[in-house]
Amino acid sequence: MKGEERLDPCGEEDLNELMRQRRVKLEKLKERNIQPYALKFNRTDLIVNLRQRFQNLQQGEESDYSTSVAGRLLALRLHGKASFADILDSSGKIQLFASADQLGLEDYEFFTTLDIGDWIGASGKIFKTRRGELTVKVESFQLLSKALRPLPEKWHGLRDVETRYRQRYVDLIVNPEVREKLMIRVDTIHALRDYLDRQGFVEVETPMLQLIPGGATARPFVTYHNALDTNLYLRIAPELFLKRCIIGGLEKVYEINRNFRNEGVSYKHNPEFTMLEFYWAYVDYLDLMDFLEEMLSSIIADLRGSTVIEYQGQKLDFTPPWKRITLLNAVSQALGREIGFYMELDELRRIAEENDIQLEKNWGKGKIITELFERLVEMNLWQPTLVMDYPKEVSPLARTHRNDPNLTERFELIVANREIANAFSELIDPLEQKSRFEQQAAQWEAGDEEAHRIDTDFLRALEYGMPPTGGLGLGVDRLVMLLTDSHSIREVILFPHLRPEAF
């Protein structure tokens, strides 16, 4: 922990030299009746618009256009009676030119005492310097907000990852790529919504607080509702509520929102993460594979200009069609021998042990085969791959496979060794769903904290009749990681979870 971090951030004592200097300046401003925290500023132009409008201005040429810009002061280059400054607004940077000639001596002196980090507004004519830099010739300016803390230095910026995540506001100021990644995230979510809206899906909002955390295998966060005197769980997935929407007749629904899972934190896991789930009546998982291929490849092409992107130094090719394999074939191939449900449980257990998998006693054939897949195949899958037909044992909400009672009509999209999407032909038979829940309940009794719990209302809903439906979930953060070439999920989440900071 840095010494400075332990200070009360609002305290007046024990400030470092730079912070003391700024507080002294603040007092001097007040003595001169200068309000250091302005009420408002009438900005006329966003910096990006000025750059576009005056891109053809000649070097040394001055326009007759007078602008008012505002932003944070990021650099000051003092040259005696004339100075340059850079300010940053939400759209970009622009240079200011301030001189004693233009401002008069008193205002010019004030300008030179501004600190890097201060917010200012400035008005004047747009011109281009002899060096070709678009610049505002400041005729008047106003301090909008005084900064009491110094910013990190200009070349190296802020590197310390802990400070970058804890004080993302500073990261956003000094590291332009943070803003760029955020904008790719914004554009990705917008593109997903736009694509689904155009296909006639309706976006719905389903409960974050749930009595029974369902729709996935994961440990939930627990909270408590005072008036109802009951425990509630932060949702681990919206799945069961979105299916209720399908039962209600909505036909094509989706939700993009947060899920919460009370599990480990790592470079690909944050306790809260953003998930897209959609449900589509009358289609099966084969339709969904085509749809996902088309949706993702077109969004990636729109956003990145190509369906081939680079991730962590390697190419990722999203050009359809993607490789499709069945889980059983993939495992068989990796093992160099045919495996399947016809084998005895003991034999599968032996193969798992030979491959360094720590077995648990209640695991059946399906779970063991899935573990083998994750260990032997998934960690080697780099290019987008659709893995089909997961065992029923690990898929309590998916429809039984039309050709094999041990399997379900489920696929996952694996890219760069990680699961990006998970989808299936939904199980719509209420009686079969009931018995699947009961099997899960038995696992729960046996100590599996991630086993699915029986959701009686969901079974009741199914009994009213659910049309054949395909459903898909997509990890938005992980998709954005791929699109921004980010190694860690923390790079694509503005405020990732860290251990509490000790002040």
Partner RNA sequence: GGGCCGCUAGCUCAGUUGGCAGAGCACUGGACUUUUAAUCCAGGUGUGCCGGGUUCGAGCCCCGGGCGGCUCACCA
Identify residues 430-489 at the interface with RNA (CB under 7 A).
Answer: 450, 475, 477-478, 487-489
Return the number of the residue (121 or 496) whose C-beta is nearest RNA: 496
Is 206 a binding residue for RNA by CB under 7 A? The answer is: no
Q: Which residues contact 249 (CB under 8 A, 6 or more apart)?
A: none
Is 416 a binding residue for RNA by CB under 7 A? The answer is: no
For residues 297-336, which are near RNA according to CB under 7 A?
Answer: none
| Residues 374, 376, 381, 387, CA torsion sign | negative
Task: Tell me the C-alpha distance between 204 and 218, whole Å.
Answer: 23
Smallest gap from residue 110 Cβ to RNA (A): 13
In the shown chain, the binding pattern of residues 256 to 275 toward RNA, with x for contact by CB under 7 A and - for none, equals -----x-xx-xxxxxx-x--
Return the number of the residue (246 or 493) whose C-beta is nearest RNA: 493
Q: Crossing angle, helix 456-463 and helix 239-247, to 10 degrees?
A: 20
- Scanning 215-284, the segments in alpha helix (DSSP H) are 239-247
Task: Tell me which of 188, 210, 217, 484 binds RNA, using CB under 7 A.
Answer: 217
Which one-letter DSSP state was computed for residue 212?
S
Return the number of the residue (252 or 419) whose C-beta is nearest RNA: 419
Task: Tell me the C-alpha distance between 183 and 174, whole Å.
Answer: 16
Is 286 a binding residue for RNA by CB under 7 A? The answer is: no
Is 80 a binding residue for RNA by CB under 7 A? The answer is: yes
Return the number of the residue (61 or 338) whose C-beta is nearest RNA: 61
Q: Which residues contact 12 (CB under 8 A, 6 or more apart)?
A: none
Q: What value, to the nearest 5°, has the Cα angle with vertex 453 and ends 452 and 458?
A: 105
Give the interface size with RNA as a residue count (CB under 7 A): 79
Task: Tell me which of 158, 182, 300, 492 binds RNA, using CB under 7 A.
Answer: 158
Is 385 a binding residue for RNA by CB under 7 A? The answer is: no
Return the number of the residue (48 or 202) whose C-beta is nearest RNA: 48
Task: Tell me the C-alpha distance between 71 and 145, whole Å.
Answer: 10
Q: Which residues contact 334 (CB under 8 A, 6 or more apart)?
A: 372, 376, 377, 380
Is 157 a binding residue for RNA by CB under 7 A? The answer is: yes
Which range in 161-169, 298-306, 317-325, 432-440 contacts RNA by CB under 7 A?
A: 161-169
For residues 8-47, which are near RNA according to CB under 7 A?
Answer: 14, 16-18, 21
Return the number of the residue (46 or 265) whose C-beta is nearest RNA: 265
Residue in 114, 93, 92 with CA at minimum distance from that of residue 103: 114
Is 81 a binding residue for RNA by CB under 7 A? The answer is: yes
Give the tokens for residue 221.
């966060």
Smallest gap from residue 210 Cβ to RNA (A): 17
Task: Tell me the C-alpha distance between 372 and 370, whole Å.
Answer: 5
Smallest gap from residue 502 Cβ to RNA (A): 5
Which range in 146-154, 197-205, 301-309, 434-442 contacts RNA by CB under 7 A?
A: 146-154
- Scanning 305-342, the segments in alpha helix (DSSP H) are 327-335
Residue in 415, 386, 411, 413 with CA at minimum distance from that of residue 401: 411
